[in-house]
A and B are shown apart, each in its own frame.
Chain A
Amino acid sequence: MAKKKLKLPEAGQWPDKLVIPALAVGAVLTTAGFLMAFLYAAPVNGAALDSPKLVGDVMVTHQQLLSQKIFYFHMPVAIVSFIALVFAAYYGIRFLMTREQRFDTCSRVAMEITLLFVIFTMVTGDLWTRFEWGVWWTWEPRLTTYLILMLIVIAYFVLRNAVDDPERRATYASVVSIIALVDVPICFMITRLIPSSIHPVITREGGMAPDMAMTVVIVLVGMLLVAFALYRLRFRQARLDERMQALKDQLED
């Protein structure tokens, strides 16, 4: 039967072997990225100074933005959280097609990772607005989008808690994860494209210098590996939990 051929993710399959290397490499890369952000990537110029000054051995004509270093973490974390959301919706679709509880577990765990990284994004993003723009909050497109994403992810978990029947819970959760994935890019596009006099759009445009891009990529890869390791660990725990529950049920019979 076709159904038996369906490959289900399970704790202890080959990706679990990669968890420890992934975690280690991820930690190394993230740390390396952290150091590079301060030592390798050139500082970014802020507002122009009245007169050139000598800082260290370098003559500078602009304020040097230390807070800009947040960017090297903010952006990768934001990207990882969106990738995790893509996976949550992907497993949501798989669930709706197969009705296998396993995919619901995957989707839920991916959503938990999304929540974690969205919270990181919000914290780093808010620090950024505070130090870069001098306000605690601004309705800037990216920040707004991530605030909305965070609220949707929280709503997803509130919904899960409010449904008793497991199959119904899994169906609803999958549907919401798919709607969320569609909604978030639209949200970004709309807040970005609409020229609004009410909410000033503050963006720093322009491509990244090679040293900046390099640092971002290294942190991004590191974060992805960490996210993957967390996902597998959490999935393993969730699966073992489910299997223990199954054993308990069998004992009762």
Chain B
Amino acid sequence: MNAVEAKHLSKAFGIRKAVDDVSFELPEGAFLSIFGSNGAGKTTLLRVLSTLARPSDGQAFIYGIDLKEDPDKARECIGMISHASMLYPDLTAEENLLLYAELYGVDDPKARVSQLLDAVGLSHRRLDQVRTFSRGMTQRVSIARALVHDPRVVFLDEPYSGLDPHAVEIFDNLIESVRGDRTFVMVSHDLAKGFGMCTHALVMSRGRVVSFAPKDQLDYDEFARLYRETVGMGVA
């Protein structure tokens, strides 16, 4: 079964189509990078796939669950890491994770949370308020938050913004360590980075898919050239 699937997916309001007739199929365990200039519809596509926005036309499936029919069921297997941490700054790291664990109804939330804090290497700071954390540490807690209910599909929305190179490295290693057979979908401006991590690449322009292919069929230089031609800006 495909982990993520879009069939003629559109998100329009009035005459403006932010996402226009997008179709693709992503197998389980894949890492999809979505490329495109500002306003190409990447983030909107991600919002539709993660049930934050309703598609106006077409269908989207997460493990065969139609997002329009049963968004709540789909939400159970979706995690999201974005440039905003989605953490309450005045609560401690542990409290934040416990909050999400309880909302998702995770079995034995306490054990799950301490296990996750161990995984992101922040057990020693678990009783500190998130406000006191550096950007890199906040983003690590954010990874733990996104994984609290063990989602099978994880969306990454510009996760690197505001991270210094060292934090980026830690972030990448963490993502690699939690990868397992999870499926990832990432939106990023960074062509080299996005291309380096992915197994599939999707280029968007003006809401449409310009190209969608597994990486092993692509050559980086060739791809960078195509990207530059179609997207034109934000070149790596």
Taking CB as reference atom, which chain A residue is nearest B17?
Answer: A249
B37 smallest CB distance to A (angstroms): 14
User: How many Å lie between the Cα of A166 and that of B206 in the bound state?
Assistant: 18
Partner of B15, one of A99, A167, A249: A249
User: How many Å lie between the Cα of A99 and that of B55 in the bound state?
Assistant: 11
Taking CB as reference atom, which chain A residue is nearest B11?
Answer: A167
Query: In the complex, are the beta carbons of A253 and B13 less than 8 A apart?
Result: no
A230-249 contacts to B, CB under 8 A, are: 242-243, 245-246, 249
B53-75 contacts to A, CB under 8 A, are: 54, 56-57
Q: Is A138 an interface position by the 8 A CB rule?
A: no
Main secondary structure of the interface of B (DSSP, over half): loop
Q: Is A144 an interface position by the 8 A CB rule?
A: no
Query: In the complex, are the beta carbons of B15 and A166 less than 8 A apart?
Result: no
Query: In the complex, are the beta carbons of A249 and B16 less than 8 A apart?
Result: yes
Taking CB as reference atom, which chain B residue is nearest A247?
Answer: B15
For A98-120 the 0/1 string (1 means CB < 8 A from B) is: 01011000000000000000000
For B115-154 the 0/1 string (1 means CB < 8 A from A) is: 0000000000000000000000000000000000000000
Question: With a CB–CB cut-off of 8 A, which chain A residues contact B57?
Answer: 3
B1-41 contacts to A, CB under 8 A, are: 13-16
Give the residue among B15, B56, B206 with the most A Cβ atoms within 10 A. B15
User: How many Å lie between the Cα of A249 and that of B57 in the bound state?
Assistant: 21
A198-253 contacts to B, CB under 8 A, are: 242-243, 245-246, 249, 253
Query: In the complex, are the beta carbons of B13 and A101 less than 8 A apart?
Result: yes
Partner of A246, one of B15, B56, B206: B15
B49 smallest CB distance to A (angstroms): 17
User: How many Å lie between the Cα of A253 and that of B20 in the bound state?
Assistant: 14
Query: In the complex, are the beta carbons of A166 and B54 less than 8 A apart?
Result: no
Taking CB as reference atom, which chain B residue is nearest A105?
Answer: B14
Question: With a CB–CB cut-off of 8 A, which chain B residues contact A102?
Answer: 14
User: How many Å lie between the Cα of A249 and that of B54 in the bound state?
Assistant: 24
The total of chain B residues at the interface (CB under 8 A) is 8
Counting contact residues on chain A (CB < 8 A from B), the size range is 10 to 19
For A1-29 the 0/1 string (1 means CB < 8 A from B) is: 00100000000000000000000000000
Question: With a CB–CB cut-off of 8 A, which chain A residues contact B54?
Answer: 99
B165 smallest CB distance to A (angstroms): 34
Query: In the complex, are the beta carbons of A242 and B14 less than 8 A apart?
Result: yes
Question: With a CB–CB cut-off of 8 A, which chain B residues contact A246?
Answer: 14-15
Question: With a CB–CB cut-off of 8 A, which chain B residues contact A166?
Answer: 13-14, 16
Query: In the complex, are the beta carbons of B16 and A99 less than 8 A apart?
Result: no
Query: In the complex, are the beta carbons of B206 and A253 less than 8 A apart?
Result: yes
Question: With a CB–CB cut-off of 8 A, which chain B residues contact A167?
Answer: 13
A8 smallest CB distance to B (angstroms): 11
User: How many Å lie between the Cα of A120 and that of B136 in the bound state?
Assistant: 60
User: How many Å lie between the Cα of A243 and that of B14 in the bound state?
Assistant: 10
Taking CB as reference atom, which chain B residue is nearest A250?
Answer: B15
Asked, given contacts A99-B54, A99-B56, whether A245 binds B15 with beta carbons under 8 Å apart, the answer is yes
Give the residue among B16, B54, B57 with the most A Cβ atoms within 10 A. B16
Taking CB as reference atom, which chain A residue is nearest B14?
Answer: A101
Question: With a CB–CB cut-off of 8 A, which chain B residues contact A243?
Answer: 15
User: How many Å lie between the Cα of A243 and that of B15 in the bound state?
Assistant: 8
Closest 9 CB pairs of A and B: A101-B14, A246-B15, A167-B13, A166-B13, A101-B13, A99-B56, A253-B206, A166-B14, A242-B14
User: Other than the known A166-B13, A166-B14, A246-B14, what 4 A-B pairs have Cβ atoms closer than 8 Å?
Assistant: A3-B57, A99-B56, A167-B13, A246-B15
CB pairs A–B below 8 angstroms (22 shown)? A3-B57, A99-B13, A99-B54, A99-B56, A101-B13, A101-B14, A101-B15, A102-B14, A166-B13, A166-B14, A166-B16, A167-B13, A170-B13, A242-B14, A242-B15, A243-B15, A245-B15, A246-B14, A246-B15, A249-B15, A249-B16, A253-B206
